[in-house]
Structure 1
Amino acid sequence: MPLYSLDNHHLALTVSPCGGTILQLLAKRADGNVHLLRPSVLSEETPAAESACFPLLPFGNRLKGNDFYFKGRHYTLPPNTGDAHYLHGDGWLGNWQCTFQNEDALTLAFTHRSDSYCYCAEQHFSLHDDRLDISLCITNQGTESLPFGLGWHPFFPLSETTRLQAKASGYWQEDAQWLAGKHHHALPAGLDFNTPQPLPRHWVNNGFSGGDGKAEIVWPGAGHKLSLTTSPECPVFFLFISDSRFDAGCQHDFFCFEPMTHAPNDHHLPHGGSLRVLSPGESLTQQMSLHSATINIPE
């Protein structure tokens, strides 16, 4: 399957149908292009876990116990990777089909059917000067109403000077098997990014609540920044930083900031928690924008 490219005077985007992933997003600069997402191998064989960004659908993160009850029916979602849990949904593991492309826009489509979730999805990419807009739409094609959620899993370049700012009022403590555990209404030292802060150089795998769907990432060494916004505002984000205990080759050269429409394990809350219940034929749409800008570096 071919890769797809969008290009204008400010940005260059490469998308793969394998997982509906972004493989590259570059900010064009006269003094050298800047990677706004972590570089990945530009190949249709690059798996989503090694890409620069992948979509989360029909919901994100892990489902504790790999099952849930909804409207009196029991649903089972078996593990879909080497992880013990059903992880990040299906879209990142499937093949997407191109349904539209011109110079600055691209639409990919994906269909999934199982004993639980049956749906079709579209992911639309468009360049607008120095901004990439992505929209994700999912439609319930099953015969029963079910709770759905959407999000993205971007990987951002990380250096010792990288700064992150993102609003949050609480977080989920990590539990066994990388699950989201107890929710706390206060942020611990080192994980409060309400003001711009450097990122830890150790393992982090936590969900954060009380977000406003926005984040700003600054790379002072590159003289560049990126603003992430979501519409509607995603109230939850996950922050992931690997380390050598999980990945022997870890170089601390990337981190993940994952906006989501819902909280982890919302399937186990009454009425699906903050997940959106879609009746057969109903759709849910979420948008994310990545806005690139240069910054002045103090002398």
Structure 2
Amino acid sequence: MSVFILENDKLGLHFSTDGAAIWRFFAKGRAGEVPLMHAPSATVGGHAGQSACFPLVPFGNRIRNNLFVFEGVAYSLAPNTDWDQHYLHGDGWTTEWSVAERAPDRARVVMRNDSAGSPYVYGAAQFLVLEGTTLTLSLEVVNRGARALPFGLGWHPYFPLTAGTTLQAPANALWLEGANWLPTDRVVVPTDLDFRTARQLPRRWVNHGFEGWNGACEIVWPDREARLKLDSDPLFGRYFLFVSDPNFDAGYNYEYFAFEPMSHSANAHNLRDGAGLRRLAPGESLSGSIRLTAELES
């Protein structure tokens, strides 16, 4: 495992090859560092699930019963954590990546998966670039298996949640949550989760996939005089929003939330038309980028 820092005169980023995870991402303000992702208390280089952001590859979230059928073939997956019965978020966040390129303000890391717990055999690469006030994250996956399979991409970043934090991220539908954190019904976005205009996040459990997103998001921290604009490639037409709850997560005090750009819906393997997943034949690839731009008022 390698831990290193990327930086320029505007931004800084702490990164680990374990899970290709970002542990700290901050802007350099006049008075010091301004966090742009939630900096966990865990030591940099711990498990990626405790980090500030990790990639989702070869897909994100969960598949109902860890089973799906694709082009007439049934596939199963084995759980990959000791606390969830599902194969969760793919393999990227549980795998050691290798550094392929590195400079002071950029890095490219790569991995290959041949897991016995999954039908997916693939290679992946993540490219991180700091340029001015913008961090660009790019992710690519290549099907190295013998059969075509449905693939998806995404990221799982956590952001600071302060008293005045607002989120703007327009969407036209969301999936209700049922047992085992799986989606049930697709409905119109309810008023308190309608982020077509800037709105504070509710202080309650939220765990929904949103659809019909235009790829634009803005998070504002008025008390820190800072904002972060997130711009996604058209591939990422969905996002997942997560706010935890002290009854679920002991010690949680609404200090962070997750906003996850995704190419597909949760349980997409079992939804009509793949719900955003892309069919990749052997040797074919899928790639996309998001850009996170910081704006400081002081």
Residue-by-residue CA offset, 1:145-201 (whole Å, 9 max, x unaligned)? 0000000000000011000000100100011111111110x2112111110000111
**1:25, distance to aligned residue in structure 2 (A):** 0.6
| Residue in structure 2 matched with residue 195 of structure 1 by the alignment | 197
Per-residue deviation, 1:203 = 0.6
Match of 2:130 among 127, 131, 135: 127
Q: Distance in 1 between matches of 2:191 and 2:44?
A: 41
Number of residue equivalences: 295
TM-score if structure 2 supplies the norm length? Answer: 0.96
SS of the aligned residue for 2:32 comes to coil
Q: TM-score, normalised by structure 1?
A: 0.96
Give 1:40 deviation, angstroms: 2.5
Match in the other structure for 1:89: 90
Distance change (3 Å), C-alpha of 1:193 and 1:38: same
Which sections of structure 2, spanning at least 5 residues, go unmatched? Answer: none
The equivalences for 1:265-280 within 5 A come to 265-280=267-282
> Paired residue for 2:40?
40
1:166 aligns with 2:169: yes
Q: Which residue of 1 aligns with 2:50?
A: 50
Contact 1:214 1:233 in 2 (8 A): no
- Give how far 1:72 is off: 1.2
C-alpha distance in 2 between matches for 1:270 and 1:233: 18
**Which residue number in structure 1 is paired with residue 79 of structure 2?**
79
1:251-295 C-alpha deviation (Å, 9 max, x unpaired): 110000001001122211355332000000000001011100013
Alpha carbons of structure 1 residues 127 and 45: separation in structure 2 relative to 1, 3 Å: closer
Identity %: 44
**What is the SS of the residue equivalent to 1:59?**
coil
1:87-122 Cα offsets, whole Å, 9 max, x none, are: 111100111110100121100101101350000000
Q: Measure how far apart 1:218 and its partner are.
A: 0.1
- Measured on the aligned residues, the alpha-carbon RMSD in Å equals 1.3
Is residue 101 from structure 1 mapped to residue 102 from structure 2 by the alignment? yes
Note the C-alpha offset of 1:43.
Answer: 4.0
- Aligned AA (1:35): P
* SS at structure 2 position matched to 1:190: helix
Q: Please name the residue that 2:114 is paired with.
A: 113
* Alpha-carbon distance, 1:86 to partner: 1.4
Segments of 4+ in structure 1 off by > 3 A?
41-45
Instruction: Return closer, same or farther for 1:280/1:89 CA change in 2, 3 Å cut-off.
Output: same
Structure 2 match to 1:252? 254
Q: Give the counterpart letter for 2:59 in structure 1.
A: F
* Equivalent position amino acid for 2:125 in 1: E
Range moving further from structure 2, 1-10 or 146-155: 1-10
CA contact (8 A) 2:13 2:25 kept: yes
Tell me the distance in 2 between the aligned counterparts of 1:233 and 1:72: 26
What are the superposed Cα offsets for residues 181-231 of structure 1, whole Å, 9 maximum, x if unpaired? 1110x2112111110000111110001111011110000000000001111
Q: 2:143 aligns with which of 131, 140, 143?
A: 140
Residue in 2 that maps onto 1:175: 178
Cα distance in 1, alignment partners of residues 190 and 248 from structure 2: 22
Work out whether 1:59 is the aligned partner of 2:46. no
